[in-house]
Structure 1
Amino acid sequence: MPYPSIDLLAAAADGLRDRDPLAVISIPALLRGARRSGIAPTDLQKFGSREENDILNAFKVGEGSKPFLAVWNQPPQMVRRDYSGSTLQAKRTRDALGRAIFSDKVNPQTNKRTHFGLKSDAGIVLGAERPKVPKICLAAWLGRKEDVTEISDLLDWFDDEFPLDGTDLDAVYTSDIPAEIASLQRPLSVTLPTNEEILARLGVKAPVTSVPETVLAQATAATVLDDDLEWTRDVCVYTLRNPNPQAIAEEVLADLERRNIELPDAARLVRRCVTALLLGHLILQGPPGTGKTTLARALARGFRAQLIESTATSDWSPYHVVGGLRPNAAGGLSPSYGKVAQAALSCAEIVRDAANAEAAEVDRDDPALFDLNSVASTSTGDLQAAWLFIDEFNRADIDKAIGSLYTMLSSCDPEHLHDTPIDLWFETTPGRGKLWVPARFRIIGAMNDLDTSFVNRISQGLTRRFQFIHIGVPKVTGTEQVPISSELESAFAGAYASLDRTYGSALTLPVAEDLRSKLDAELQILQSVVDHLRKPNSGAGWPVGTAQIVDVLRTVQLQSVANNPDEQREALDFALADLLVPQMSFMDDAQFESFSVLFEEHSLVAAHDALRHLFNPHTLS
């Protein structure tokens, strides 16, 4: 019962190593599917990961082991168990060559990509881009468990199992037998080569089989650190799914409305931010309290991205951003990942989990309609990525801290990221020296452009790698007909919701509508104060943020629960004095005079005294 020998398999692996995976795995899978369904390869409608997995199985070298793909690595090594086959899906649907070979369209109802088989000129396109694939090399691996008597039987088996009829794939596959195979003295073997023999012959380390599948499936992010990072190269190609700016913007706006957040010209602002994130990294800049962090979180939710939050400080260095070495309990040094590297790795793990979800669903009724970029991950909910949020972005000397990532940050294009991994110089474990950043990864920064005395400048080179969007204060004001603006109404509702979440179980709060009616007079005063601070009758104003208004209202609401109505005005006065006025540093003489008159007009004595003390700390009360 002759089978392809170990010598033939080794020579075939050499013959496949530099060939395109689409030609070695995907197209044979499609050809077999077309033959079994009796449909021409150019008309095949059901084709996806399930069919490719059948071909991948031919390259496995043990029960539960990872597929051995001799064509993708030099020297040959195994693709990770927890990322089986997903790279092929990316190559079909995301790479330019794959899109030129396979015809497909997007289903408008499901927003999923539907595969329609090969394009009519697929062979010409692929043949012009890549060297030909010897059929015998593919036949040896795909048919290594077939019982044959002559090496020519393998070619006949291949032609029968993967017919090229109705295609121009003769430009891709050749029946010529390479000299290395033709000269073999033992191309066939009376026994089937064992997996251990194959691994030893090809110089590949045997897979660990003592760890149960369930344990591997439950591996955490910390466990991944014990493995190599070569798998991140595969996941870097996946772009953000469902890239519809209008749909995402509408979801973000609805989210903000549910949370009682009002931003200036919110619809246009959110659309600009969504578009910026679809294309690259984003910086939100503006005065304190204008909602930069709140907006960043809403944008991440709209994109189904986990937001990993950090705050930059003046001592940030490349160690804090990329990583380095730190002392360990044994008295030595261990690798420590910086903010960007750790967030990028978390993002890669989420994308990988989405790939696992795809592999887990290959048996659904119509796998051809299944697409990684439209599927929810089984282990991370509906997440598609992890992003890094850096608050107080310019508190650090960010050019120095992030300088080594300049090239990587210049584009979120998959091809660019594939060529520019992060150099983890501090890693000494083989396979962990480079980290590929997913095309779904984003950095959102928030920077205060008001306290210029305490922040660092950002170079033009770094500025080019982000889109900067300014968030100002809302322009809505109180009017004679509507004395309380929509901004203050939203701020009041947001403050009440926050108070209810914090102390609702321990404190008897009035019904929101009753409390709103009770504090109507104070709200009108606060509205007048905010309007005139932002836009005084003359001179420069002060950009009071909505978050600062919420802070004042939370204080007033909490005190009003127990206070007498006569004390509500005092509660507002002290809230302004304690929360708002201290943030008005660096006001000029004209602003001081204007704001002093404003507080005096409303009999806000505490606020007036606080303002005077802030302007001149040596003034006696």
Structure 2
Amino acid sequence: MPFVSAGQIIASLEYLRDHTHPFLIAILAAARAGVVVGEGDEDTVAFGGTNETALLKEFSSPVGRPDEAPLYVPFGNAQNKSRWRNEKKYAGSSLQQQRKQRPTVLVQHSDDNKRWRFVPGFEAAITARPKWFAGDLPISLVPIGVWFYRQREITGLAELAELVRTDFKVPQSLIDAGVFTSDVPPVLDSIPLADNAITDGDLFALLQQPPAKPMAEAVPTVTETPASHAQEWTSLAADALDDMDGLRGADRAARRALAALQAGMHVVLTGAPGTGKTSLAKVLFDRVGLPYTIAPATDQWTTFETIGGYFPQPGAGENLDFMPGIVVSAIEEERCLVIDELNRADIDKAFGELFTLLSGSPVSLPYRKRDGDSFKKLRIVWDAGTSDADVHEYVVPPWWRIIGTMNDADKASLKRLSLAFVRRFAFVPLEVPGQADYTAIITEAAAELPAGDVFDAVRDRLVALFATDAGGFKSIGFPIGPAIPLAMLRHTAAQIALTPDAVADALTSEVLTLYLVPQLQGRPDLHTKVLSLVQPHIGADEVAAFAHNLAVWTGFAQQ
């Protein structure tokens, strides 16, 4: 009996790369685990990362796999990363996050995160937004079968679709809805079967290189936009922001930022300390499926850090070559860019020629890049296709964006943003959550930590100071985001464990001194107001020490 051939494996991996999404692993693993369509908790079934890992270990962990990352993920575009994944991290983080981001397909038990159910009508949710859930519909089960059953004797390719349907209990409703098909892709049908199964050595060697384009296709002369990146910002629906990884109260800012990104603008998220500006930037890129790099700005930035410059190359003696900076590297690697605390840098000094690029025009750089024994001129362009063999082009993908963050609290003491820079960005304020959301954030986080009378007392005082609209820091015009009181909660729990006889007054004063007071650096105008707010929550014995530490940071001088 015949086996699938190496050519069919290559073509199948290409198909899975170009036409599917990694979330298919969750769908297949859930169906295989017996997860059913249900209305409530009583219909949930035990399922989770262990099932997804078991699937990958059984079907996608070939001989020769690296010990530290033994799982090979064939679905979707790898975004220039290795397809090999760590078995403890991939299902437990990446796939788990994907499941939580898609509650219209799979939803957890309300109290048990190890039990799941398919949502009634999940087939329609997939067909409404196929690229977000599965890929290009209908997805042929045959390439999945070629990869999964690559060393099994078969009678023909059509048999592989039936094997997948049977082994993975693929719901008939997904076939009927057009999510899956048993049809054999023509490119596979045109490749003959093999007399023998592919050897472990040949298979592992095949996996060391990205699958090549089929011979029948023209090889492009310019770099193509990866399939997963072809989902432009305009294709991201608003409901993709319904669940933002616990970012409460950020809905308005998220939708404003998304509108600006869809309009082709770059974005700066502004707001009080701890409001989740960087987290929101990550959510926006994650939801559209774009890779990104996070870079913290500093006042030492010049165009060397952002654009690049000449630098000695390892192993090249004293020879210099162009080394891309943060922005050019992000373009070259096809990764968007998050710049934290953007206004810590002198923007005019740091961005230089990039102002022209951000306005949509190409830029010629005053450097040359080594190419063998010669050097090429450097240009950053939005459209590839130069005919000049002496030019090396960095091509900016149409979806490439910068999202910066800027802390409102200390913006006056940092670098001024020039108008040339400002007009190229949309500045989106991320407000401190409203009282109800803020209180929920603190109380839900506290519920995950050891409870006790002292801990509960500190928690309640933090709610009063940070979350309430009247009588808290908001009332004096100094709102603080949730990240800071959440750090205080963790510190409180740790300190109680170290010091069992700790008291609430001293602990409240301690965490406020360690985490809040430094935020008031150079703000003598707020000294008296903050002290007045805090005093009732820390007890008379703590007031003098707290006031002294506060004055050190605010610069307040007692008259």
Shorter-chain-normalised TM-score: which range? 0.5 to 0.7
Q: What residue is the counterpart of 1:256 in the other structure?
A: 245
Q: Which amino acid aligns with 2:320?
A: L
Q: Determine if the alignment matches structure 1 residue 403 to structure 2 residue 392.
A: no
User: 1:362-391: per-residue Cα shift (whole Å, max 9, x none)?
Assistant: xxxxxxxxxxxxxxxxxxxxxxxx211111
- Identity of counterpart residues, as a percentage? 27
- Counterparts of 1:618 and 1:587 in 2: how far apart (Å)? 11
Change (3 A) 1:611 1:531: farther
- Counterparts of 1:614 and 1:435 in 2: how far apart (Å)? 46
After TM superposition, give the deviation of residue 290 of structure 1 in Å: 1.6
Contact 1:307–1:388 (Cα < 8 Å) also in 2: yes
After TM superposition, give the deviation of residue 515 of structure 1 in Å: 1.6
- Counterparts of 1:460 and 1:541 in 2: how far apart (Å)? 27
Contact 1:542–1:584 (Cα < 8 Å) also in 2: no
- Counterparts of 1:283 and 1:243 in 2: how far apart (Å)? 17
Q: What residue is the counterpart of 1:268 in the other structure?
A: 252
- Counterparts of 1:579 and 1:445 in 2: how far apart (Å)? 24
Q: What residue is the counterpart of 2:271 in the other structure?
A: 286
Change (3 A) 1:516 1:462: farther
Change (3 A) 1:488 1:425: same
Q: Determine if the alignment matches structure 1 residue 571 to structure 2 residue 507.
A: yes
- Counterparts of 2:485 and 2:491 in 1: how far apart (Å)? 10
**Alignment counterpart, residue 427 of structure 1, candidates 360, 369, 372:** 369
After TM superposition, give the deviation of residue 453 of structure 1 in Å: 4.5
Task: Give the length in aligned residue pairs.
Answer: 337
Q: What residue is the counterpart of 2:231 in the other structure?
A: 241
After TM superposition, give the deviation of residue 489 of structure 1 in Å: 1.9
After TM superposition, give the deviation of residue 444 of structure 1 in Å: 0.9
Q: Which segments of 5 or more consecutive residues in structure 1 lack a partner in the other structure?
A: 1-48, 51-82, 84-106, 115-211, 220-228, 348-385, 479-483, 497-511
After TM superposition, give the deviation of residue 313 of structure 1 in Å: 1.3
SS at match of 1:334: strand
Q: Determine if the alignment matches structure 1 residue 554 to structure 2 residue 515.
A: no
State TM-score, norm by structure 1: 0.48
- Counterparts of 1:516 and 1:301 in 2: how far apart (Å)? 38
After TM superposition, give the deviation of residue 291 of structure 1 in Å: 1.0
Change (3 A) 1:399 1:550: same
Q: Determine if the alignment matches structure 1 residue 339 to structure 2 residue 361.
A: no
SS at match of 1:485: helix
Q: What residue is the counterpart of 1:378 in the other structure?
A: none
State TM-score, norm by structure 2: 0.52
Q: What residue is the counterpart of 1:601 in the other structure?
A: 536
- Counterparts of 2:420 and 2:229 in 1: how far apart (Å)? 25
- Counterparts of 1:271 and 1:286 in 2: how far apart (Å)? 16
Q: What residue is the counterpart of 2:414 in the other structure?
A: 455
Contact 1:238–1:438 (Cα < 8 Å) also in 2: no
> Looking at both structures, which has the greater relative contact order when contacts are Cα pairs under 8 Å and sequence separation is at least 6?
1
Change (3 A) 1:539 1:321: same
Change (3 A) 1:451 1:524: same
User: 1:182-240: per-residue Cα shift (whole Å, max 9, x none)?
Assistant: xxxxxxxxxxxxxxxxxxxxxxxxxxxxxx98765499xxxxxxxxx9734x5499975
SS at match of 2:330: helix
**Alignment counterpart, residue 471 of structure 1, candidates 389, 410, 430:** 430
Superposed counterparts of 1:515-530, under 5 Å: 515=451, 519-530=455-466
Change (3 A) 1:297 1:238: closer
Q: Determine if the alignment matches structure 1 residue 487 to structure 2 residue 441.
A: yes
Q: What residue is the counterpart of 1:127 in the other structure?
A: none
Change (3 A) 1:421 1:578: same
**Alignment counterpart, residue 527 of structure 2, candidates 592, 602, 605:** 592
Q: What residue is the counterpart of 2:310 in the other structure?
A: 325
Contact 1:423–1:434 (Cα < 8 Å) also in 2: no
Q: Which amino acid aligns with 2:423?
A: R
Change (3 A) 1:580 1:536: closer
After TM superposition, give the deviation of residue 110 of structure 1 in Å: 3.3
Q: Which amino acid aligns with 1:250?
A: D
After TM superposition, give the deviation of residue 454 of structure 1 in Å: 3.5
Contact 2:338–2:403 (Cα < 8 Å) also in 1: yes
SS at match of 2:269: strand
Change (3 A) 1:253 1:245: farther
Contact 1:599–1:608 (Cα < 8 Å) also in 2: no
Contact 2:277–2:430 (Cα < 8 Å) also in 1: yes
After TM superposition, give the deviation of residue 596 of structure 1 in Å: 1.7
- Counterparts of 2:256 and 2:453 in 1: how far apart (Å)? 37
Change (3 A) 1:236 1:311: same
Q: Determine if the alignment matches structure 1 residue 445 to structure 2 residue 430.
A: no
Q: What residue is the counterpart of 2:130 in the other structure?
A: 110
Q: Which segments of 5 or more consecutive residues in structure 2 lack a partner in the other structure?
A: 1-17, 20-79, 81-126, 138-204, 213-219, 377-388
Contact 2:466–2:480 (Cα < 8 Å) also in 1: yes
Q: What residue is the counterpart of 2:553 in the other structure?
A: 614
Q: Return the index of the structure with the highest Cα Rg.
A: 1
Contact 1:327–1:334 (Cα < 8 Å) also in 2: yes
After TM superposition, give the deviation of residue 586 of structure 1 in Å: 2.8
After TM superposition, give the deviation of residue 426 of structure 1 in Å: 2.7
Change (3 A) 1:323 1:230: farther
Q: Determine if the alignment matches structure 1 residue 314 to structure 2 residue 263.
A: no
- Counterparts of 2:399 and 2:529 in 1: how far apart (Å)? 49
After TM superposition, give the deviation of residue 406 of structure 1 in Å: 2.2
SS at match of 1:331: coil
- Counterparts of 1:325 and 1:581 in 2: how far apart (Å)? 43
- Counterparts of 2:532 and 2:474 in 1: how far apart (Å)? 12
After TM superposition, give the deviation of residue 325 of structure 1 in Å: 0.5
After TM superposition, give the deviation of residue 422 of structure 1 in Å: 6.0
**Alignment counterpart, residue 393 of structure 1, candidates 312, 327, 342:** 342
Comparing 556-565 and 391-400, the one that deviates more: 556-565
After TM superposition, give the deviation of residue 462 of structure 1 in Å: 1.7
After TM superposition, give the deviation of residue 241 of structure 1 in Å: 0.7
After TM superposition, give the deviation of residue 288 of structure 1 in Å: 2.0
RMSD: 3.9
After TM superposition, give the deviation of residue 344 of structure 1 in Å: 0.8
Change (3 A) 1:327 1:486: same
- Counterparts of 1:553 and 1:539 in 2: how far apart (Å)? 22
Contact 2:311–2:321 (Cα < 8 Å) also in 1: yes
